[in-house]
Structure 1
Amino acid sequence: MSLLYTEQQEELIKLVKDFAENEIKPYVEELDKKGETPAKELFKGAFEMGLHMVEIPEEYGGAGLDFETTAMIFEELAKVDAGYAITLVSTFVALRSVILSGSPEQARLFADIIEPGNFAAFTLTEPNAGTDVAAMKGTAVKDGDEYILNASKTFITNGEIADVYVVFFKTDKNAGNKGISAFIVERDRPGVTVGVHEDKMGLRLSNTSDVFFQDVRVPADHLIGREGQGFKIALNTLNLSRAFVGTLAVGIMQRALDEAIAYAQEREQFGRPIMKFQSVQGLIADMAIKTEAARALVNNTMRLMDQGDLVKKEGAITKTFVSDACQEVTSKAVQVFGGYGVIKDYPVEKLMRDCKVFQIFEGTNEIQRSTIARELDKEYK
């Protein structure tokens, strides 16, 4: 491992590792085949451990763990299944919008919904507004002390299982990005409905669905920040979140490395383990190099976030490098396994499927490279 851990971090990592191996892993293969999000019963242990509350500040009933430690323990969950891990992490994505830009009362409202053992969803994307957020059609219209919300959102992680959403609408249709506003919306409000769970290639234990808002009324105090601040809120949230999801990709990479080494030590050709062949050694060494580098990069970015940095450039660098490296590492794992690597009875084809979307969600890697270049252009002037 490339990191130095405190005693507390080591204890938490072991606790989560044991939980994931014993309580989650036995169910992953079947759930992946079915493409089903685990029933809440499978999250009971995570809720009892407080994994859904680790990032919520102590004053609102959470553990208030730093980003660095939280990333370490979620890497362990992702080694067993990144889809399971991201179901919990997606609550934090929504939470960050409230903590960064909302009021203490809103943070308390959010935490009180999550604490009993519930999920949240960050609800931004629309069918024609992915990377081009300003193209969203959803509207929020002020009506006395309430807002009336209408929108069709798509590709929403936790969309079907969330009990509360952070949702983005246009409060001024003619103001482009500056006309976007963010709201807290409880699932049980009349007019909130969800679509079917998407049948995805990877992260099949993670729920992804459409969410519809039809004449949904929310109190004016559910507006996060002020009208027109939604785009900035979304960007600041995603700057942190795209860096954090890198730790899940590292978990996938480490699992791929573990599986490849175990297989290479056991599989024999020409009378000796394939681990003894230089070509296989090269594949595994490259996997280890990328995994350790990715973990160190994620860790450094988490430490910057713990110091209050919004990591616009650093988060983009982390997300892009780690997700690209994940593709390379899982592909090499499949190569080590040879023909068995593409068979579902073996674990590495799933890891390759799971990691692809990391190059797409939280802002595509193409957009991240543009962000990095723009930030560098500013720095060097």
Structure 2
Amino acid sequence: MSNVVTEKNIYSRSYIEEIREKVKPIVENVIKPNAGLGDKEGLFPRESLLALAKEGWNSVTIPEKWGGLDLGYVGLSVVAEEIGKVDASTGLVYAMHVGAAQTINLFGNDDQKARWLLPIREGAITTFAVSEKATGGHVWYNLSQAVQDGDEYILNLEKSFTTSGGQSDYYVVQTRTAGSTDPSEHSFFIVDGHQEGITAKPWKALGVRGNHSGPLKFENVRVHHRDLLQVASHDVINGTGAILGLNAVWLGVAQGALDAAIAHVTKTTHKDFNKNLADYQVIRQKLAEVKIQIAAVRTWQYDLARQYDELCKNNQSLLPLAGELTEHKVLATELADTAARVAMDVAGGYGYIEGTFERIYRDARGGIPMAPSNNLAREQIGKGLVGLPLELFEEGK
């Protein structure tokens, strides 16, 4: 994959389309055929991830020095969107993996990068372990706290909704800093996922059944000081662009729903009137409205990705884009839900039976409650509009 692109012009549509054409064979030949079975049996998409790793896509934002393709956030957006078109579960696993790996790329030292980033090309998978049941979607607030013991830290905690929980080779784990009483002080550890004391609970859900996003427990897990990341900000998920990758997945889900709907209405004919479903104006207009919304969200997706890449190029913080990214998250996830509902609607009874349409419909709901949930996101956005403080940190009484 060293010749993915001949010239990096992130403002060129041809650049984006070249990346898209390069990743499509894996998406169509490996990920898409496994999507239905993965949903039905709740299978983690290991085969798909290994195929992506072999071609370097799991290291899409990582510099070539550490085994990556160095295609930045534009590259991540293209790949995550293409995966989302055929399988939301694999897309979520992929986006969270790339986001966690990018955290090490941005904040890790050379020793950490050599030990944790290079194995990605051989199939190693990582993810974030951040949220906790007690504080829900307030992922910036952890009650858990590391305990320092000499050169090591001891972790006793449980994380909720950890994508790839029990499947990842290592985790980027967020806790309150050892010895601190300040909830804004966080530590981020790279934790080997194969050591004893890490237990994942089963994942059973309405949709995205293959992403294994269940509770993850750490009992007396020791982490050496050399695997403590030197992160300046508590807002790592926004500060590394992980949500940008997730948004691209939901954009892909919307496009996948539209593609499935178009394929159905153009091949289905009512023999009594000898009319194709696509001959009905009401159906065409429903599809057109989804297409218009997808075009708008996609334009915003790649504009944000380019801005992220520019900031990285200049070694600047990504946090200034966090507010806009939250706004985009709301729009992208709700577009996926809208597109899935329209697809089921125009497919009629065939949309309601078990299969592609109902799977997309179930999967598409998953983005709305994902942190920050859209209700919480709107509250954050609204407070900013009227000049009220976010009040992120307040000790419970």
What TM-score, normalized by structure 2, do the two folds share?
0.86
Residue in 2 that maps onto 1:85: 91
Please state whether the residue corresponding to 1:361 is helix, strand or coil.
coil
Name the SS of the counterpart of 2:58 in structure 1.
coil
Superposed CA deviations along residues 199-245 of structure 1, whole A, max 9, x for unmatched, are 1211122122322211112111222126xx563435524xx222221
The alpha-carbon distance between structure 1 residues 27 and 56, as it changes in their structure 2 partners (threshold 3 A), is same
SS of the aligned residue for 2:85 comes to helix
Q: Is 1:373 aligned to residue 382 of structure 2? A: yes
Q: How many residues align?
A: 370
Worse-matched range after superposition: 281-290 or 15-24: 15-24
Equivalent of residue 14 in structure 1, options 10, 18, 21: 21
Quote the Cα distance in structure 2 between the aligned partners of 1:172 and 1:146: 11
The 10-residue stretch of structure 1 (182-191 or 295-304) with the greater mean CA deviation from structure 2: 182-191
CA contact (8 A) 1:266 1:273 kept: yes
User: Which residue of the partner structure matches residue 329 of structure 1?
Assistant: 339
**2:391 corresponds to which residue?**
none
The 5 A counterparts of 1:61-80 are: 61-80=67-86
Q: Which amino acid in the other structure matches residue 213 of structure 1?
A: F
Partner residue, 2:206: 201
Q: Deviations over 1:252-298 (max 9, x none)?
A: 11111111112112222332112111211221111111111111111
Q: Which residue number corresponds to residue 264 of structure 1?
A: 265
Aligned to 1:278: 281
CA drift of 1:57 comes to 1.9
Residues 320-347 of structure 1: CA deviation (Å, up to 9, x unaligned): 11111111111011110112111113x1
Contact 1:101 1:233 in 2 (8 A): no
CA distance in 2, matches of 1:75, 1:55: 15
1:166 paired with 2:178, answer no
Pairing 1:1-381 to 2, within 5 Å after superposition: 6-38=13-45, 40-133=46-139, 136-172=142-178, 175-191=181-197, 193-225=198-230, 231-237=234-240, 240-269=241-270, 270-308=273-311, 309-310=318-319, 311-345=321-355, 347-377=356-386
From the superposition, tell whether residues 140 and 306 of structure 1 become closer, same or farther in structure 2 (CA, over 3 Å): same
SS of 1:211 mapped into structure 2: strand
Q: SS of the residue aligned with 2:183? A: helix
SS at match of 1:178: coil
CA drift at 1:111: 0.3
- Tell me how far apart the structure 1 counterparts of residues 41 and 379 of structure 2 sit (CA, whole Å): 37
Answer with 5-14 or 329-338: which moved more.
Answer: 5-14
Q: Which TM-score applies when normalising by structure 1?
A: 0.90
Shift in Å, 1:151: 0.7
- The Cα RMSD (Å) is 2.3
| 1:177 partner SS | coil
Amino acid at match of 1:10: E
Deviations 1:152-199 (A, max 9, x none): 1121001111111110122357634224321111123342x2223301
Q: Distance in 1 between matches of 2:383 and 2:115?
A: 37
1:139 match: secondary structure: coil
Per the alignment, in what secondary structure is the counterpart of residue 122 of structure 2? coil
Residue segments in structure 1 that go unaligned for 5+ positions in a row: none
Q: How far apart in 1 are the matches of 2:15 and 2:103?
A: 28
On the 8 A contact 1:138/1:169 being kept in 2, the answer is yes
Distance of 2:285 and 2:140 partners within structure 1: 46
Letter in 2 for 1:131: G
Cα distance change, pair 213–369 in 1 and its aligned pair in 2 (3 A): same
Distance 2:148 2:179 in 1: 13
Give me the whole-angstrom Cα distance separating, in 2, the residues matched to 1:264 and 1:222. 54
Quick one: which amino acid aligns to residue 162 of structure 1?
S
Q: Contact 2:128/2:163 (CA < 8 Å) preserved in 1?
A: yes
